[in-house]
Amino acid sequence: MKRGRFISFEGPEGGGKSTQARRLAEALEARGLRVVVTREPGGTPTGEAIREILQHDRAGEPLAPEAETLLFAACRAQLVRRIIRPALADGAWVICDRFADSTTVYQGHGRGFDPEAIRALHAFSLGDTWPDRTFLLDLDIEEGFRRIARARGGDGAGLDRMERETRAFHRRVREGYLALARAEPERICVLDAGADPGAVAARVWEEVARELDADG
């Protein structure tokens, strides 16, 4: 059986990753393809429990940056082995809302951790399981947070632990994503997430359809 394809969506906060992942899944399913949609952190029962700690402070204590990084890696290791690899081996397309690039930029560029340490952690937790294609939904940081505020009633309430980081942190994250895209242009496609969501979805489909046509 032919191996499936693995696609991830990345980008700063408020860029519409979940929306675009869902739209792409619907488009692929309309072509008769089997699709598995998942998310990071999360995607498995263990991963969802870790997500509650990482995003919603469920442990009730400040989380050390080193512990944060290891929890993301543990969550991702579980997702790879329980969901992603089996689905790909079964010929399905896997679409993931965030993946390892998030740790590279949030903990690497954002927290300032050693890039070599991050790469070693990826090698241990993921092996050779990486997205075939990554769509980076790039967006101005302030616009991203305006979108989040509008979606949550306009008062800024309900921000998760990562969203509460400083704007300087989030600017480093965005810069990290763009640096990563420059380093890996063959894998990472940068799209303007400030455009109309329908236009963004059309650009995503244009790229994916090209791969489908190449497969025959």
12-61: pLDDT as tens digits: 999 999 999 999 999 999 999 999 999 999 999 999 999 999 998 888 88
Query: Look-up: residue for tokens 């994503």?
Result: 177
Q: What share of the chain is helix, strand, coil (3-state, %, to 5)?
A: 55, 10, 30
Q: Are 137 and 191 in contact (CB under 8 A)?
A: yes
**Residue-level pLDDT at 3:** 84
> For residue 2, what pLDDT is reported?
80
- Check residue 155 and give its pLDDT: 60
Residues 6+ positions from 69 with CB-CB distance below 8 Å: 103, 107, 111, 113, 118, 121
Tell me the mean pLDDT per 10 residues along the chain, length 216.
90 97 97 97 97 88 94 98 98 98 98 96 97 98 93 73 94 98 98 97 96 75
Count Cβ atoms below 10 Å from residue 4 Cβ, excluding itself.
20
Helix pair 45-56, 65-79: axis angle to 10 deg:
160
Residue 54 CB-half CA count within 13 A: 24
The Cβ of residue 207 has, within 10 Å, a number of other Cβ atoms equal to 14
The predicted pLDDT at position 145 comes to 94
- The predicted pLDDT at position 156 comes to 58
